[in-house]
A = this chain, B = another copy of it.
Amino acid sequence: MTANIRVTVWNEFQHEKTNATVRAIYPEGMHTAIANALRGFGDMDVRTATLDEPEHGLTDEILKTTDVLIWWGHKAHDLVRDEVVARVKKHALAGMGLIVLHSGHASKIFKALMGTGCSLKWRESNDREILWVTSPGHPILQGIDDHVIIPVEEMYGEHFDVPEPDETILISSFSGGEVFRSALTYRRGAGRIFYFRPGHESYPTYHHKEVQRIIANGVRWAAPVSNSAAQTYGNRGPLP
């Protein structure tokens, strides 16, 4: 019997407290909506953590028992403490999976792992988003047809200032004519990083079944493999 994957869903959980529109869509917060969706798949043990908790809910103890961390942040990026970012980065490089959602592109943790500015173009005007599969057979796309339609979303447009991805598996078009690389994979250290674009707070994107499935597949893809023995560094003598 395979053990369940241990997932922690982190959300800054700010919009939901101050914006009635967002609260109507996600009464218990986006993290809860995402966590409940993941629990429905049956192979994950899911916890949540938020900005306002002590240490943002991301103590070393929590991270040590997290296989995959999901990150949603937007207007409070600057309030995330640098030592927590450093801690998350340390665990990610040691093998913990990391899924960065939507506006998390501008989070401290994503920028620290990418090394670039991670900027993009954006517009809030109810664009239709179509995500096209560019990598059939990729495990993150299991059960997904050749495209996914999200009726209304915020537009993100290229250039997306990230390193050339290891794999570009979905590319979006928007009603306004823009395009965006929307599902990207990176390996950093012994860890796997999955960036997934959809999920503006004012749209019900995380209730979308195919979006939920892609996130669940991403969790399975990002879950760590135990060979940290290979991460050995420093001074050493010649082999015998």
Contacts and interface: CB of A to CB of B under 8 A. Distances in A.
Interface of A: 2, 93, 95, 112-117, 119-123, 125, 128, 130, 132-139, 141-146, 149, 157-161, 163-164, 166-168, 171-179, 181, 186-192, 224-239
Contact of A115 (B164, B188, B229): B188
A125 to B, nearest CB: 7
A177 to B, nearest CB: 5
Nearest to A239: B177
12 contacts: A93-B116, A113-B116, A122-B236, A125-B238, A137-B228, A141-B227, A146-B230, A157-B236, A159-B233, A163-B188, A173-B179, A175-B238
Given A137-B227, A139-B225, A229-B146, A119 B186 contact: no
Contact of A179 (B137, B149, B172, B227): B172
A163 B186 contact: yes
B187 A164 contact: yes
Given A159-B232, A236-B123, A134 B186 contact: no
A3 to B, nearest CB: 14
A178 B190 CA distance: 20
A176 B230 contact: no
B142 A227 contact: yes
Contacts of A175: 177, 238
B178 A137 contact: no
A136 B179 contact: no
A33 to B, nearest CB: 25
A231 B159 contact: yes
Given A133-B230, A226-B142, A161 B189 contact: yes
B177 A181 contact: no
A138 B225 contact: yes
Contacts of A142: 225-227
Contacts of A192: 137
Contacts of A123: 235-238
